[in-house]
Amino acid sequence: MAYERTTVRKPLLLRLLPFISLFLFLSIWEFIVAPPDVDDTWKIPTTLLTAPSDIIALAFDKLTNIDPDGATLIQHAWVSMQEAVLGYLLALVVGLPLGLLMGWFSTVRGLARPVFEIIRPIPSIAWIPLTIFWFGIGLTGKVFIIWLAGLVPCVINAYVGVGMANPTFIQMARTYGATNWQIFQTICVPSALPMVFGALQIALSACWITLVAAELLASDQGLGFLITMGRSLGRTDIVLLGMCGVAAMGAIIGFVIDRVEAKLLAGIRR
């Protein structure tokens, strides 16, 4: 029997709620910030908080202006994107297969789990001093730190996902003479896919947080470096511009992962 996908159309108000919420948030934010030439005692001065309109104006200016941090907004975003994507992809390439293999093959589990359990409790930002000694403050060092941050959730989720495989299916496959490798490929890996895609989101969050932390501590370009420069110069608008850039890029990558997950897991969910 074929399954037909049915779509339930949401009422117009429900579809507009996210936009209404965002509009209200930005409007209140804009309203509570005092303009530079206005002295309102009940409003927040621009030295402590910058209005959204000023951040947008600064963003357009920073598209071509390298002052005061030595790079345009596009250059900062491109550096951060390179570091985040490379570290994230390396975490997926290493962590997901390792977690899947650890979850099913006892030999791999015996070899890899003790080392993993030693590394797992160490926060990735604790590696920053050593990473600076090993790789400097360039691309390689930050990719290494981001890789460590994303590796842990990838391994754990993939490992747990294999354990969620239906034991009835495994027993039936053994009855028909399937090998361990065949069971792993045809039963364990598909069963682990929901947890694997959960790992993609968790690893993305961990990598993104670590990227900003690494750039705040040791960097000469990137959105985290932009935030640091804003703090050093006492410019809340630059700090908030860097934060908004981090939020926007993280949201875009998360949206792409959601779309891929929805397509690949559509059959499982039905």
- Give per-residue pLDDT as tens, 208-222: 888 888 777 767 788
Q: At what angle do helices 189-217 and 223-233 cross, to 10 degrees?
A: 30
Among all chains, which residue has been given the structure tokens 């069963």? 191
Query: Which range in 10-14, 118-122, 258-262 is most confidently predicted, on average pLDDT?
Result: 118-122
Give percent of the chain with pLDDT exceeding 90.
Answer: 10
Residue 2 is predicted with a pLDDT of: 46
Q: Report the pLDDT value the prediction gives residue 1, as an integer from 0 to 100.
A: 44
CA 259 to chain centre: 15
Structure tokens given for 157: 């989720």
Alpha-carbon distance of 270 to 91, in angstroms, equals 29
- What confidence tens digit (pLDDT) does each residue in 27-72 have? 998 888 877 666 666 778 888 888 888 899 999 998 888 888 888 8
What range defines the domain where residue 122 resides?
A: 73-269
- Residue 189 within any structural domain of the chain: yes
Residue 6: the pLDDT is: 55
Is there a domain that residue 12 lies in?
no
- Residue 137 counted as domain residue: yes
3-state SS string over the chain? CCCCCCCCCCCHHHHHHHHHHHHHHHHHHHHHECCCCCCCCCCECCCCCCCHHHHHHHHHHHCCCCCCCCCCHHHHHHHHHHHHHHHHHHHHHHHHHHHHHHHHCHHHHHHHHHHHHHHCCCCHHHHHHHHHHHHCCCHHHHHHHHHHHHHHHHHHHHHHHHHCCCHHHHHHHHHCCCCHHHHHHHHHHHHHHHHHHHHHHHHHHHHHHHHHHHHHHCCCCCHHHHHHHHHHHCCHHHHHHHHHHHHHHHHHHHHHHHHHHHHHCHHHHC
Whether residue 14 lies inside any domain: the answer is no
Mean pLDDT over each residue of the chain, to the nearest integer:
83
Residue 212 lies in a domain: yes
Q: What is the pLDDT of residue 36?
A: 66
Domain count across the chain: 1
Q: Is the per-residue pLDDT at 265 higher than 80?
A: no
In a domain, 156, yes or no: yes
Domain CATH for 135: 1.10.3720.10
Residue 175 pLDDT greater than 90, yes or no = no
Q: Quote the tokens at residue 261.
A: 């997950």
Residue 31 vs residues 18, 23, 127, 192: alpha-carbon distances, Å: 20, 12, 42, 48
* End-to-end Cα spacing for the chain: 12
Q: Max CA-CA distance within the chain?
A: 81
Q: Is the pLDDT at 267 greater than 60, yes or no?
A: no
Q: Give the residue-averaged pLDDT of 95-101.
A: 92
pLDDT score for 192: 86
pLDDT bin (cut points 50, 70, 90) of residue 266 is low
Cβ burial, residue 255 (10 Å; 0-12/13-18/19+) = exposed
What pLDDT does 130 receive?
A: 87
Domain membership of residue 3 (yes or no) is no
- Residue 254 contacts by C-beta under 8 Å, 6 or more apart in sequence? 201, 204
Mean pLDDT of 166-195: 85
Average the pLDDT over 8-37 and give the result: 82
Alpha carbons 157 and 164: distance in angstroms, whole number = 11
pLDDT at residue 93 tops 90: yes
Domain contains 61: no
Residue 24 confidence (pLDDT): 92
Position 19 pLDDT exceeds 50? yes
Query: Distance (Å, rounded) from C-alpha 79 to C-alpha 229?
Result: 16
Q: Answer whether 103's CB lies under 8 Å from 170's CB.
A: no
Residues sharing a CB contact under 8 Å with residue 2, sequence separation 6 or more, in sequence order: none
Range picked from 69-73, 171-175, 209-213, 238-242 for highest mean pLDDT: 238-242
Tell me the residue length of the chain: 270
